[in-house]
Structure 1
Amino acid sequence: MSEEKLSDLISPEAVINFETGPIKASTLDTMIKLLPFEMGFCDANDIFRWYSNNPNRVHGRRQEAIGRPVLELHPKVAHYVEKLLNDFRSGKRDEWEFWFPKHSGEHGQIYQKFMAVRDENGKYLGCMDVTVNIDLFQGKEGKNTPETIDEFKAVKPE
């Protein structure tokens, strides 16, 4: 399989026709960068293929990681990652999630979820991970979050 970039194969202006509607490749890329969480994907052969390039990432990612075996990227926990991927591949498990404290003594929690990606026939295509800085969603000062639908309706646009 060639290691070509999407931009080498199609124009950023190309339209991708999803089941739920069409969208330009460049618009989709921009939207993914705005999501308040990070994503990554390794294929059915456990090769790291893609990550969302969100600003202020919890987990640093490097472009050099693309195309490398995922077990090489996580040597300290390779045994656990291998077991998880084998469980996904065999169908024993479809997802796994956990919470852990931020690194470097910072206050706060991180949520991470790994999910088996399967096609419509159940064939294993790889593993997707989602990482969320939970602090983004917990009671930040100055946020006006309506508690009820009536409060939401009462908010006047600025």
Structure 2
Amino acid sequence: MSEEKLSDLVSPEAVINFETGAIKAGTLDSIIKLLPFEMGFCDADDIFRWYSNNPNRVHGRRKEAIGRPVLELHPHVEHYVDKLLKDFHSGARDEWEFWFPKRSGEAGQIYQKFMAVRDENGKYLGCMDVTVNIDLFKGKEGKNTPDTIEEFTAVIPE
């Protein structure tokens, strides 16, 4: 796939209507990049279609993967991915979650959750995954949650 930007595919000014409100496509893309976790999606035919382009990703993604069968992307764990997708397609399960150590040799843990995406009638639309660097949510020495709004507003980011 070519190096297309959101503006090449959908106007950033295009409004996306949801049940709970509407938002411009460009704004939604910017919000997704700010989330403290990563996301990906494969469609009902098990083709990888999308991932969030968060900075400092813990789960590597390549734009070349878009449009390819998910099983081709994970040859080292193909058996597990195949089982997960079959369970989602059949309705046997709607989610799988895992915790595992960082693979880069760094200390720390990663949390990954896979969820079946279904429409309001239960029809399978695909699989979404969320990947979180758990270390981002661990308390840091000397840091705590302010007890009052005054303490909260006095906090200056480092």
TM-score by length of 2: 0.89
Matched ranges for 1:4-153 at <5 A: 7-8=7-8, 10-146=10-146, 151-153=147-149
- The aligned amino acid for 1:23 is I
Cα deviation for residue 80 of structure 1 reads 0.8
Cα deviation for residue 10 of structure 1 reads 3.3
Could you tell me the percent identity over the aligned residues?
84
The answer for unaligned runs of 5 or more in structure 2 is none
Question: Per the alignment, in what secondary structure is the counterpart of residue 126 of structure 1?
Answer: strand
Aligned CA-pair RMSD: 1.7
The CA distance in 1 between the partners of 2:76 and 2:97, in whole Å, is 19
* Residues 15-69 of structure 1: per-residue CA shift (max 9 Å, x gap): 1111111101000000000000000000010000000000010111111000000
Cα deviation for residue 143 of structure 1 reads 3.3
Deviates more, 1:40-49 or 1:13-22: 13-22
Question: Per the alignment, in what secondary structure is the counterpart of residue 45 of structure 1?
Answer: coil
The CA distance in 2 between the partners of 1:156 and 1:138, in whole Å, is 19
* Residues 120-152 of structure 1: per-residue CA shift (max 9 Å, x gap): 000000000000000000012453423xxxx14
Q: Is the 8 A contact 2:49 2:67 kept in 1?
A: yes
1:155 to 138, 151, 155: 151
The CA distance in 2 between the partners of 1:95 and 1:101, in whole Å, is 20
- The aligned amino acid for 1:93 is R
Cα deviation for residue 154 of structure 1 reads 4.2
